[in-house]
Amino acid sequence: MASVRLEGVVKRFGRTIALRGIDLEIRDGESMVLLGPSGCGKTTTLRVIAGLERPDEGRVYFDDRDVTDLPPRSRNVSMVFQSYALWPHMKVYDNIAFPLKVRRLPESEIRKRVRWAAELMEIEGLLDRYPHQLSGGQRQRVAVARAIVVEPEVLLMDEPLSNLDAILRVKMRSEIKKLQRKLGVTMVYVTHDQVEAMVIGDRIAVMNNGRIMQVGTPSQIYKEPANTFVATFIGSPQMNILEGFVDDGKLVVAGSELLGVEAEARGRVLVGFRPERVLIGVFDGLVLEGVVDFVESLGSLTIIHVALDSGSKIVVSISGEADVEQGSRIRLTVPRDAIHLFDPESGSAITHGV
Ligand SMILES: Nc1ncnc2c1ncn2[C@@H]1O[C@H](COP(=O)(O)OP(=O)(O)OP(=O)(O)O)[C@@H](O)[C@H]1O
Ligand SMILES: [Mg+2]
């Protein structure tokens, strides 16, 4: 296994700047997820690690070895592509065996390793089939088996579950996490699905527009988002963000006041709070009043859209069923520890909890 380190990696495609200076360290045996919207540079980052793209600036290290100028075959990495990229004219066995044949392993060793990978992925019964005779989920397993059969130092996965239906995705994401743990392999996993990122990542790097916005454990990313981008990208429904003002320990937001605020902030701020942290009723914290605009009952939770008296709209998420009616008045409390303040210019977090 190996640690992977990117230092100041810049990648341009003509006039497009795909990566604008990526610094990222992935620890030995760690599962790191790259999460971000379409076009933010996730696949490019993986391809730079694999050696399929050469950075225009910056260096790539495996442990302390500078691999920036090494071709993919000298790096001992495996990549699972979104499309799986299985060879249609080869049976499953030969697809999995292929990277070992390229490495000129003896036939008996190849058989042993293919059996090992196939058993791990529970596809022993499919070795004689061609890819077109498999379901999407089975193809995905074959692609993973082919990637792990060489026992790579670093396993790279680019949205490997995106072609699967919702139920299979949920099953496979925990299987991939377990597999990574079992193999102890260093993994970089790309997704734009935040729940998948939370399940699979020991840590998550949230990317936007060719930059890393924050690296942290799923819990850190959720509880202490570094800026408004991360705050609103993670969590569903999205974090509410309102304009506010801090003066002399007083936070004013949406026509309400909260005293005793111990933030460094002064003047204009952005006030963020997650829908699931809002309480119905009046308690200690920021009390907001308004009218219920619209209620979505999802069974396990209820999402309430509220038009505040100040004119702002917010979303509240209550676990289970909630006894609220559209058009009725509602009073809500945001507890102090659920309030995040952000700088209105830079979007950077000022404090989590007030
Ligand atoms: N070979 C290429 N030639 C030109 N531009 C490219 C090339 N590869 C990527 N790009 C551009 O670089 C940027 C980052 O692309 P990348 O594929 O890394 O995004 P991504 O985060 O993987 O997105 P998605 O979630 O849609 O797969 C995009 O603007 C993309 O159009
Ligand atoms: Mg991509």
CATH pick for 238-352 out of 2.30.130.40, 3.20.20.70, 3.30.420.40, 2.40.50.140: 2.40.50.140
> For atom 5 of ligand 1, which residue has the closest CA?
13
Q: Is 39 in the pocket of ligand 1 (CB under 6 A)?
A: yes
Q: Is 18 in the pocket of ligand 1 (CB under 6 A)?
A: yes
**What order of strands is seen across the sheet that includes strand 240-247?**
256-258, 250-253, 240-247, 267-273, 340-342, 349-352
Q: Which residues pair with 227 in a beta bridge?
A: 348
The single-letter DSSP state of residue 348 is: B
d(CA 295, CA 272): 21
Level-2 CATH architecture, domain 4-232: 3-Layer(aba) Sandwich (3.40)
Task: Please calculate the CA angle 263-205-54 and round it to the nearest 5 degrees.
Answer: 135
pLDDT at 131 over 80: yes
11: exposed, middle or buried (Cβ count in 10 Å: 0-12, 13-18, 19+): buried
Residue 29: left (phi > 0), alpha (psi -120 to 50), or beta? left
Which pLDDT belongs to residue 265? 79
pLDDT in tens, 150-187: 989 999 999 988 877 888 888 888 889 999 999 999 99
Which pLDDT belongs to residue 172? 86
Mapped onto helix, strand or coil, the DSSP state of residue 157 is: strand
From the CA of 40, the nearest ligand is: 1
Q: Residue 149 CB: number of other CB atoms within 10 A?
A: 25
pLDDT in tens, 279-320: 999 999 999 999 999 999 999 999 999 999 999 999 999 999
Q: How far is CA 304 from the centre of its chain?
A: 26
Q: Is 83 in the pocket of ligand 1 (CB under 6 A)?
A: no
Tokens of 111: 């058989």
Q: Which residue has 């490495």 as its token pair?
A: 103
- Ligand 2: centre distance to CA 39 (Å): 7
Domain boundaries, given as residue ranges, for the chain: 4-232, 238-352
From the CA of 34, the nearest ligand is: 1
Which pLDDT belongs to residue 203? 98
